[in-house]
Amino acid sequence: MELKKLRGVILAGLALIGVVASIFLAKNLIDNKAAAVAPARKIVKEVLVQKAVNGPVTISVPAQGLVTAKRRIEIFSEVQGVFRMGAQLFRTGQSYRSNEILLQIDAAEYLANVKSSRTNLYNQIAGILPDIRLDFSKEYPTWLAFLNAINVDKNLPDMPEMSDENLKLFVSGRGVLGAYYSVKNLEQRLSKYQVRAPFNGVLTEALVTEGTLVRSGQKLGEFIQPGLYELMVSIPKSYALKLNQGATVSLSNMEGNETFTGKVVRLNAKVDPSTQTTAVTIEINDPNLYEGVYLKAILEGNTLQNAISLPRALISEANTVFAVENNTLKAIQVTPLHYSEGQVVVAGIPEGLEILAKPLLGAYEGMTVNPIR
């Protein structure tokens, strides 16, 4: 019996010791965890600020397009014949001066027909001269001089003016007027066998060579005046309203290593219904430019007064910007005036007010910050 009692006492003591040890261990763990967790500190973010400076802001509109020659013609043949060699070869890159022959087509057969018609007219006028001398003696010297001026190898001189209606009826009745204008019509067509340069320029496309049989209506080439070009760009209709004709335009190639200057010469009054854009034509006078080059343009529009240009990331959807007053963020309501790629022009910021220069992630009104000026 005493052994059983002793065993019970020992077990009870061990249980008590285990409970005490558990309580002591739990207390140590709690104390250690409390010591490991440091008290939270308030973090104040640093922000870059700038002073608002209101003033005139010129609207800039980016665009790009293809350069084309301002003065260019497509050469077509209005007659048929064999293409003959001229003073210069009809080749791409060949330059010509104004009124110089670009190309000529064999007109020997047609020229003979023209000379024959001139001769017939000469004979008709010679046949009516005796009647003019008798019935219209005052007009006889004029018509005699006209007859003597006719040369079968040259274009006809101008027909004498006829103030006397009877003389006009007489000349017309003899078929002279009809014959005269028939010859003038032939001479006009004969001139189409030669194509002359309308201005100083360069042949940029040659589709025929000497000896080719040219047909009426066939395209023969293209001719441009180098140095004077146009660039047509499409911009949103809202931007077009802010552009002025004659405005200076800054241009650059797609690589950005060449710059040019142009001016707005035409603003299309029609808006493309599918894209809601309108065409703007820019004139460029530069001998170092070539047709077919792509250029980027920065068009300067109207100038907005008492405004400031800011990065679009600084403007919230509610049209507010954050200002810094007493190290605290404050939302300021603004009025957007113009949006462009990456920038927005706004009004309504008090002059000299410190505003954020860079967007702050998680910013809110009343947030404490450390401004860096």
For the chain, the structural domain boundaries read 47-58+305-372, 61-69+226-304, 75-224
Check residue 43 and give its pLDDT. 73
Check residue 35 and give its pLDDT. 46
Check residue 164 and give its pLDDT. 85
Specify the CATH number of the domain 47-58+305-372.
Answer: 2.40.420.20
The answer to whether residue 186 scores a pLDDT higher than 60 is yes
Question: Across all residues in the chain, what is the average pLDDT?
Answer: 86
Check residue 370 and give its pLDDT. 86
Res. 97 pLDDT band, cuts 50 70 90: very high
**Measured CA distances, 26 to 12, 14, 16, 36, 214 (Å):** 21, 18, 16, 16, 110
Are the C-beta atoms of 282 and 233 separated by less than 8 Å?
A: yes
The answer to whether residue 119 scores a pLDDT higher than 90 is yes
Check residue 122 and give its pLDDT. 94
* Mean pLDDT across 233-242: 78
Are the C-beta atoms of 165 and 136 separated by less than 8 Å?
A: no
* Mean pLDDT across 116-142: 91
| Element at 115 (helix H, strand E) | helix 108-135
Tell the burial category of 341 from Cβ atoms under 10 Å away from its Cβ (0-12, 13-18, 19+).
Answer: exposed
Check residue 28 and give its pLDDT. 67
Give the span between the Cα atoms of 307 and 54, in whole angstroms: 5
Specify the CATH number of the domain 61-69+226-304.
Answer: 2.40.30.170
Are the C-beta atoms of 278 and 234 separated by less than 8 Å?
A: yes
CB contact set of 106 (below 8 Å; sequence gap of 6+): 81, 82, 83, 84, 193
Asked whether the CA dihedral 289, 290, 296, 301 is positive or negative, the reply is positive
Q: What is the pLDDT of residues 284-335, one digit of tens each?
A: 999 889 999 999 988 877 788 899 989 988 898 889 999 988 888 899 999 9
* Mean pLDDT across 120-139: 90
* Mean pLDDT across 261-290: 88
| Element at 143 (helix H, strand E) | helix 140-149
Check residue 36 and give its pLDDT. 47
Res. 114 pLDDT band, cuts 50 70 90: very high
Task: Write out the two tokens for 192.
Answer: 């189409």
Give the span between the Cα atoms of 363 and 7, in whole angstroms: 71
More confident residue, 322 or 86: 322
More confident residue, 119 or 246: 119
The answer to whether residue 371 scores a pLDDT higher than 60 is yes
- Name which of 356, 359, 348, 373 is nearest 54 in CA terms: 348
Check residue 217 and give its pLDDT. 92
Q: Which of 174-178, 252-256, 258-262, 298-302 has the lowest mean pLDDT?
A: 298-302
Check residue 224 and give its pLDDT. 94
Question: Would you say the pTM of this structure is higher than 0.75?
Answer: no
Are the C-beta atoms of 150 and 168 separated by less than 8 Å?
A: no
More confident residue, 42 or 231: 231
Check residue 22 and give its pLDDT. 67
Owner of token pair 């040369």: 151
The answer to whether residue 77 scores a pLDDT higher than 50 is yes
